[in-house]
Structure 1
Amino acid sequence: MLSFSRRVVGAVALAVALPLAATACGGGGDGGGGDTIVIGTKFDQPGLGLKNPDGTMSGFDVDVAKYVAQQLGYGEDKIEWKEAPSGQRETLIQNDQVKFIAATYSITDARKEKVAFAGPYLVTGQSLLVRENNTDITGEASLQNNKKLCSVTGSTPAQRIKDKFSGVQLQQYDTYSACIEALKNGAVDAVTTDEVILAGYAAQTPGAFKLVGGTFSEENYGIGLKKDDTELQTKINDAIVKMEKDGAWKAAWDKNLGPAGIQAPAPPQIDQT
């Protein structure tokens, strides 16, 4: 799993500051270049899926989605981006509001009952972010003392906390950026989600936060799409494999997260089921 020192977290700021590639939201068909394609992603996750002040999109998820769209026949000018908060992702797919979603979307059996997944294209793990001066939260075991913990409605990390830690006061917001604000102003004691996401947020305000406790899960990020659309699923899987083989996957990682000192992991095995 990825591990981050305080030095690394501070360095993520360099990655966040770099200009990153544009992304998309999905709409039209799954081939040809005539129509636009609507692609769902996060708008508030630096280094992964971020809508910049000038309206452009940047991040690793964004670069993956952009590459996949290109392989499906859609250039950047044909991509329309749609924000995909954690709790709304299945609905966006089921209601045909997006063609696919690349948004730190962990593949789970429960979600597979509602949508299909291509991938995975990245493996990470759940971790904890606290204020820099915090000394009493050192990992998952120290959460049990009635600590106030923030995560996002509909997310895998939030569900894991509910299942494993009955002694935690779990606050659930619509976005992780809202959790970060709550942590900043002291309304909660810690924020939990995947380590790579937390590192990006910490980089936005160097010296304010720190990661603690390492990782205590394994999350496989996949691209969500309409259930039973095996044709599109195969095309997206083929695109991910091609991205990994031609070096574009590692290039996207190095551009978005490499300057933080995070070594690119080996791309995960594609799940063809």
Structure 2
Amino acid sequence: MKLSKASAATALVLSLTVAACGSDGGDSSSPDGGDKKLTVGIKFDQPGIGLKTEGDKYTGFDVDVATYVARQLGYKPGDIEWKQAKNVDREALLQRGDVDFIAASYSITPEREKKIDFAGPYLLAHQDILIRADDNSITKPADLNNKKLCSAKNSTSAQNVKATLAPQAQLKEYAGPAECLTSLENKEVDALTSDDAVLAGFAAQPEYRGKLKLGGFKLSNENYGIGVPKGSELKARIDAALKKMVADGSWEEAVKKNFGPTNYKNEPAPTIGVIVS
């Protein structure tokens, strides 16, 4: 039987409608109501925290935390799109909507909370310094005065040093702490300052073992939080996921996996929602 043009058009519309209704039986929701994809900002250059390796593989404590949180939000690891979140870009990434959340050694501070919200904290780190293993001239924070000190731009570490710890330190800033390592190894700077968790990851890398050491200074408390856009309902949902991660032992497993080989003495799991000053 031959269909008229009108009948053929009607049949086509009906067939497409049926196909659309049965095409997806799963949950396709995302934080902003779109398709099932989650964009997460992490560091790409911090061993033990967030590192992108060959084959577009991602490792580190922040990666494991973010992956766990994503699962609790209804996403599989394959649903996650990882995006580099440098210190200088983090607030802008959230404000523009380029990422759904950021887990990137992101210290919670009052200044940052004016622009974004934080879930957590999920790790308590401390500012420290990394120096050459044969350098015995820096044994206390005051020794950093008149020394060449390297730090990542827009980091709380750089601000703390210049404000109170060693005002006379000659500060050199790069986009991230990884760029400071070459300068430290080549004796262009005397020390690198960042969080102890970050520095421990660098010191544990095969090319730096035995060449670099942590100062062992607890210069500040750094409460790592997961950044979300201001007013986002994700904050409460991520807090709930972090509480579950601590309670079921997954947090401790992630700590041992990422920091165990470095002999980094981490603080116990923080209480979610409580900032240690």
Tell me whether the two structures share a fold, i.e. TM-score over 0.5. yes
Shift of 1:34: 4.4
Residues 158-167 or 95-104, more deviating: 158-167
1:179 corresponds to which letter in structure 2? Answer: C
1:215 corresponds to which letter in structure 2? Answer: K
Contact map agreement 2:116 2:229 (CA 8 A) in 1: yes
Contact map agreement 1:250 1:264 (CA 8 A) in 2: no
2:8 is aligned to none
Q: Distance in 2 between matches of 1:251 and 1:63?
A: 10
Q: Distance in 1 between matches of 2:195 and 2:147?
A: 19
Given the two structures, how large is their TM-score scaled by the length of structure 1?
A: 0.85
- Per the alignment, do residues 168 and 208 of structure 1 end up closer, same or farther by CA in structure 2, a change over 3 Å counting? same
Q: Distance in 2 between matches of 1:210 and 1:264?
A: 16
2:225 is aligned to 222
1:271 is aligned to 273
Structure 1: runs of 5+ lacking an equivalent: 1-27
Q: Distance in 1 between matches of 2:261 and 2:137?
A: 30
Q: Secondary structure at the match of 1:188?
A: coil
Q: Distance in 2 between matches of 1:272 and 1:96?
A: 27
- Per the alignment, do residues 264 and 214 of structure 1 end up closer, same or farther by CA in structure 2, a change over 3 Å counting? closer
Contact map agreement 1:149 1:170 (CA 8 A) in 2: yes
Where in structure 2 are the equivalents of 1:60-209 lying within 5 Å?
A: 60-144=61-145, 146-164=146-164, 165-204=166-205, 205-209=208-212
Q: Distance in 2 between matches of 1:173 and 1:127?
A: 17
Q: Distance in 2 between matches of 1:190 and 1:264?
A: 22
2:215 is aligned to 212
| 1:39 paired to 2:40 | yes
Shift of 1:243: 0.6
Q: Distance in 2 between matches of 1:94 and 1:31?
A: 14
Q: Distance in 1 between matches of 2:245 and 2:216?
A: 32
1:255 is aligned to 257
- Per the alignment, do residues 207 and 33 of structure 1 end up closer, same or farther by CA in structure 2, a change over 3 Å counting? farther
Q: Secondary structure at the match of 2:150?
A: strand
Contact map agreement 2:41 2:102 (CA 8 A) in 1: yes
- Per the alignment, do residues 203 and 78 of structure 1 end up closer, same or farther by CA in structure 2, a change over 3 Å counting? same
Q: CA RMSD in A?
A: 1.7
Shift of 1:254: 1.2
> Over alpha carbons, which structure has the higher Rg?
2
User: Which digits, 9 at most, give the CA deviation of each residue in 1:125-170, with x for residues without a partner?
Assistant: 00111111112111211011x1110001111101111212221110
2:237 is aligned to 235
2:49 corresponds to which letter in structure 1? Answer: L
Shift of 1:249: 0.8
1:50 is aligned to 51
1:217 corresponds to which letter in structure 2? Answer: S
Shift of 1:91: 0.6
1:25 is aligned to none
Higher relative contact order at CA 8 Å, sep ≥6: structure 1 or structure 2?
A: 1
Q: Distance in 1 between matches of 2:161 and 2:266?
A: 28
Shift of 1:266: 2.0
Contact map agreement 2:162 2:168 (CA 8 A) in 1: no
2:227 corresponds to which letter in structure 1? Answer: G
Shift of 1:29: 2.5
Q: Distance in 1 between matches of 2:220 and 2:121?
A: 15
User: Which digits, 9 at most, give the CA deviation of each residue in 1:151-203, with x for residues without a partner?
Assistant: 01111101111212221110010011101111011111100011111111111
2:272 corresponds to which letter in structure 1? Answer: I
